[in-house]
Amino acid sequence: MSAPHLRALADAEPAIYWLADPAAPQVLPALVAATEADLVVIGGGYTGLWAALQAKEDDPSRDVLVLEAGTIASGASGRNGGFCAASLTHGEGNGIARFPGEFSKLQQMGRANLDGIEATLSRYTIDAEWERTGELDIAVQPWQVDALHEFADLLAEHGQGPSLLDRDEIQSLVHSTTYLAAIHDPDGVAMVHPAKLAWGLRRACLDLGVRIHENTEVSGVGDERGALRIRSAYGSVRARQVALATNAQTALLRRLSNYMVPVYDYVLMTEPLSAEQMAAIGWQGRHGLADSGNQFHYYRLTADNRILWGGWDVVYHLGGRVSADYDHRASYALLAEHFFDTFPQLEGLRFTHRWGGAIDTCSRFTTFWGRAYGGRLSYALGVHRPRGGRQPVRCSGDVGPAQRQRDRANATADGAHQAAALPARASQIRGDRADHLVHRSGRPQRRQAHNPWLRTLDKFGLGFDS
């Protein structure tokens, strides 16, 4: 007989739960002619949509055109965990390490940006199932408890006031015997339906007059007498400016392969929990949750009380290859095992969906941007957080087409450090060895903390985690 966690996967559809929502809009036609535009945005995810929306808000007369290779939200923007965090730097610890002199300003920008996103949803009546729940960063091993205490002290030194919860306090919020302590961020994270957010931005763009073509893969960008020519299979666009917002797909600008590492992240979605099952795990605050290992899980409740469970087994393929062939793998079985180790009281619960895909990351774990073609093309990448990453995207969308990189985000003006693929892959392997989850045998085992290899890579700006 198969193990309970495998039986729970028996009916899990290999599809993205968010995109199966009946609110999905009708697909827009592909570009099939030659045309012109003031601004062409390549990529119809969050970065691209916010770039188009804010460019149109800045100048309603600007002719803005969005080209999406698939359909809106079919990439990373439609398959992430739906965590919308105020941090612009993949967490406060990374921000302090990378930008210590500007950390305070980054925090202010991030909080203002989170508030701005909420205001945008209200202004355009976008129903994205927004919940300002906050987040719990959870220790599930003794070394992680020590790390959380050190982290809390570090935040206090930088004027932050983290709420550190002991075992009894975290157990009172969410019931799992694996929880030992946590840091509570009560207001800096919101939960959102990723696809509904993208579809809402799509509608807002269309209402403002932005032209959008789906199923239009861009095959090339080139100079053309003071402008840029963007080519696709059936048409082309001559544009004064271009905003490149393609996440893990970087073929249109070769230099980006030196700064970005595509990695694969995997996710499970459960069936809706019953009232009895919800009572068994507590979780009344509906916080976003994540454990605090080198490789970690992130999880949250949906509007209908399903649990999204993802992370841990982040995968890099040699040479940075990106392919739909990598979207599904045996990671689902490991994720399911970890799920029931965390919530054994939910045995019998089944998974309805499983999916994966590439996300873009760089060694500094922060958005980076730049220009090419004499400043006519702007790009913003590195918005890689599997949990969400909504915050950096909105900033990036703002600065790209409007040419305001230094003005709006001068706190991170030194950009991103080059991320070499070999150290990234090697550190993933070491992280896995350091973080083999204690639940493999059903009994707590000893785990190694952040090992010398990972600490060395961090020192030289080449760190890597899930």
On the CB side of 221, CA atoms within 13 Å amount to: 24
Q: What pLDDT sits at residue 98?
A: 80
Over residues 391-401, the pLDDT tens digits come to 444 544 443 33
Q: What pLDDT sits at residue 426?
A: 35
Q: What pLDDT sits at residue 257?
A: 67
Q: What pLDDT sits at residue 295?
A: 79
**Contact at 8 Å (CB) between 67 and 232?**
yes
Q: What pLDDT sits at residue 441?
A: 31
Residue 278: count of CB within 10 angstroms of its CB: 15
Going from the C-alpha of 129 to that of each of 119, 249, 374, 423, the distances in angstroms are: 14, 28, 41, 39
Residue 53: count of CB within 10 angstroms of its CB: 25
pLDDT lower than 70: segments of the chain: 1-2, 248-251, 255, 257-260, 313-330, 360-366, 382-466
- Alpha carbons 89 and 228: distance in angstroms, whole number: 32
- Which of 352, 441, 439, 275 is closest to 9 using CA atoms? 352
